[in-house]
Structure 1
């Protein structure tokens, strides 16, 4: 008989218990909620862990694998939201059939994917509604007419895109360069400009994925929370006094609980930065032309110290993957040279396609409609929650509603069990907030008020913990 691979064990029969030792080794190797989820999802979809298989308890998996109880519980909550596992009152947690359709589950990803639609229950990510994006055919045709097409000479930003960006750039930038997607460009700027001190001050709440990548750069991070007037000057001054010389500012606030900074607050923040030498601001305008309220800038108060990143992914679609970075020449050239050792450059086709969209009156009309629809969806959910006595918060440009909860993890699990996947608000902060938050994406909420009311009802039931006894 051939020797078995040392890391494999026979696949358990459907309906039977899973071999704890095998699963513990897999989870221990994964090490985090972010890694455990794709690992178990792959094993379930490939049939290695069969439908009907009973999983060990959360506590047993945590104690034996060394992965925290919370990470195991979060991972299973995500898998439950994907419809890959289900919890039965007497049968424990079992693997569901990933190919089975469950039309009664509002967030069933398999059924939604088959229908070509976004799952109603996918409320964790602020992805744009394809129905509200401009048609790219004409823009790409314009890009194909770009001068110098097929030239081997790198063009870090085309003349047409530079001109289009300059029309409403909020300060006089000495140089521009085209970057990748907005988050990629912001990360590139931060990684380049914060390199000497390896310390960074940043606004919170923030995109949790971007925050994770910033931490992977090895930077020491200090958070700057906001109140109704904008980021806290004292928190920024504290970060600067501890050695931070780069500040990641979010002028349009896609994750904000509060409005953009007032002119008076911008002045106070600028005064705080002026007391320290060598401070550089990276303005991450990730909402871009989709913003309802113009975001402020430090470019006039701190000339020569500000780099701004403008993203267009939410406005025009993720496939363009082209942003614009503008600021002082020396800083922009450092950023340019740090992108794949100066070899990274965006296609002229995509650059001029983006420029066409920025210039197009038809695209402007599409954006105006999109802003109205997105605002109406968010307001409809906020009102549905309010009718149930649930307060929510959101800045005017924010693409999420924030709901304060007593137990973030437990509420997330209950919502996942009901077929709704929402964001864990605590992941958007450097330091854990004093309260738990749900972060509910609103861009792709349904336009059906009854469906939105159903979402609000699920949030209410989850906050009450009506299903929590199933996971004890």
Structure 2
């Protein structure tokens, strides 16, 4: 049990050894900095309070920004600065429990050494500039476990690479892109650098609110094609169908059906123009303890589905599979040819060997169960201390916070680091009520330049969405004053950590 949890490892005759845990020996951080929103590639020595958003000198956020670095932002301070931090006494060499990084537990990843020994046995397409962008044998393995039957597939260098390529290929400056609220900051960073406008739609335990989605589509944009009536082109929707980051929610088949109906209604009202391209980011992949789902089973000609293997097989493989209609996949492949060209077929062969291997499958299955147990254990502990949580999957949990300043002080005293919820919220978003109806215009129409409507302007749209509201699970997930905590590491789950989080959230 200790070995499975990543606490110890047996080394045969050499004995059993306690593994180093994901703790950084650091001094107490300032109270204002215990909520981190740092870029994943921040070097050691960076400030405690950094930013998830992309830097000005980067046209598109790098893959390092998507893959969290558990040591980023950790620093040793001088003895003088250690004495007090924002009025809080600091003890030297207090381990910080870092719950801000969505990285896998390295002890749960399959070892690649046995597969490296086999590498190169299949020499097809190796050292070729003209070979396929996905090995046929790998595509066969992937299709056997894909949530729908796509027209075409290719490989990209991680889910973030696939997202960036799809956005570059299909989103123009000034376009509206519908995203979840909250959502992963990397998505917002790429859209911002592209000059697009991300409009957030709230989610509940079953996925994106379909009524709010209909409101956004009818208020702020026109489908792909020429804009009209001073409204902007809605060129894309970006969803995370399972183990959503940061909430951990997964879409139900019923919710996907409701979203597909909304898109079809909008397409019909727009005189047959295409609905926006739907890009699905399955970043958890095989470590999510729920089945894969996709809108591709309902509207396959408008869906690009991306599955990452970073959390299941290892971040350094830099591999994700991408599927979609042939014209969309071809456009993404052509965009990639402007840079790296293709994903190394040696790496593809390595992944293919691992996917077909029983031992690797058993290791990943064990990891999936361990992550699920850690998340469920933390949920039980938090509820024991009076904090209700959202049922979900994957590494992350989204916890509402009553007073962010008080939460910072408490977590600083307890040497616990979490991710600030503000970084997961689109700048423009609609609000939702418990029954799924649109609860407010925000100032989005004025800022985006959409057509201003009077009080009755949405009557028809709201009526069409009335039936869709009945499928909502309940209250929309809180969009303000929250924190994301990651419970993938063994040191993240304990009564002390749960009690501190609950106390901080309710202070």
Q: Please give the TM-score of this superposition, normalised by the length of structure 2.
A: 0.67
Which one has a larger percent strand, Structure 1 or Structure 2?
A: 2
Q: Report what 2:231 is aligned to.
A: none
Q: Report what 1:356 is aligned to.
A: 353
1:175 and 2:175 are equivalent in the alignment? no
Q: Trace 1:97-136 onto structure 2 (pairs within 5 A).
A: 102-103=92-93, 105-107=94-96, 121-136=97-112
Provide the C-alpha distance between the structure 1 equivalents of 2:85 and 2:142, rounded to a whole number of angstroms.
57
1:436 and 2:481 are equivalent in the alignment? yes
Q: Report what 2:115 is aligned to.
A: 139
1:459 and 2:504 are equivalent in the alignment? no
Of 362-371 and 427-436, more deviation after overlay is shown by 427-436
Which one has a larger percent helix, Structure 1 or Structure 2?
A: 1
Q: Trace 1:5-404 onto structure 2 (pairs within 5 A).
A: 41=45, 82=75, 84=77, 102-103=92-93, 105-107=94-96, 121-147=97-123, 148-195=125-172, 198-241=175-218, 242-243=220-221, 244-255=234-245, 257=247, 259-274=249-264, 275-276=266-267, 277-278=273-274, 279-341=276-338, 343-395=340-392, 397-404=393-400
Residues 334 and 87 (structure 1 numbering): CA distance in 2 closer, same or farther, change over 3 Å?
farther
Q: Secondary structure at the match of 1:295?
A: coil
Residues 393 and 149 (structure 1 numbering): CA distance in 2 closer, same or farther, change over 3 Å?
same
Q: Secondary structure at the match of 1:308?
A: strand
Q: Report what 1:23 is aligned to.
A: none
Shift of 1:340: 5.0
Q: Secondary structure at the match of 1:414?
A: helix
Shift of 1:258: 6.4
1:418 and 2:402 are equivalent in the alignment? no
Shift of 1:292: 0.9
Q: Per-residue CA shift, 1:351-394, capped at 9, x if unaligned?
A: 11111122222111111111111112122222222222122224
Shift of 1:129: 0.7
Provide the C-alpha distance between the structure 2 equivalents of 1:43 and 1:106, rounded to a whole number of angstroms.
17
Q: Secondary structure at the match of 1:423?
A: strand
Q: Please give the TM-score of this superposition, normalised by the length of structure 1.
A: 0.72
8 Å CA contact 1:140, 1:350 repeated in 2 = no
Shift of 1:344: 2.3
Residues 43 and 367 (structure 1 numbering): CA distance in 2 closer, same or farther, change over 3 Å?
closer
Residues 410 and 338 (structure 1 numbering): CA distance in 2 closer, same or farther, change over 3 Å?
farther
Provide the C-alpha distance between the structure 1 equivalents of 2:162 and 2:168, rounded to a whole number of angstroms.
10
Residues 138 and 293 (structure 1 numbering): CA distance in 2 closer, same or farther, change over 3 Å?
same
Q: Per-residue CA shift, 1:419-458, capped at 9, x if unaligned?
A: 21111123212158554112110111328x6xx1121233
Residues 228 and 165 (structure 1 numbering): CA distance in 2 closer, same or farther, change over 3 Å?
same
Q: Which runs of 5+ in 1 are unaligned?
A: 1-31, 45-77, 108-120, 466-472
Q: Per-residue CA shift, 1:168-224, capped at 9, x if unaligned?
A: 222222211110111221222133222376221112332223322322221111112
Shift of 1:308: 0.7
8 Å CA contact 2:249, 2:390 repeated in 1 = no
Q: Report what 1:445 is aligned to.
A: 490
Residues 221 and 352 (structure 1 numbering): CA distance in 2 closer, same or farther, change over 3 Å?
same
| Relative contact order higher in (CA < 8 Å, ≥ 6 apart) | 2
Q: Which runs of 5+ in 2 are unaligned?
A: 1-35, 49-70, 222-233, 268-272, 430-477
8 Å CA contact 1:201, 1:221 repeated in 2 = yes
Aligned length: 379
Residues 418 and 344 (structure 1 numbering): CA distance in 2 closer, same or farther, change over 3 Å?
farther
Provide the C-alpha distance between the structure 1 equivalents of 2:47 and 2:213, rounded to a whole number of angstroms.
45
CA RMSD of superposed structures (Å):
3.4
Q: Secondary structure at the match of 1:144?
A: coil
Q: Secondary structure at the match of 2:296?
A: coil
Residues 159 and 143 (structure 1 numbering): CA distance in 2 closer, same or farther, change over 3 Å?
farther
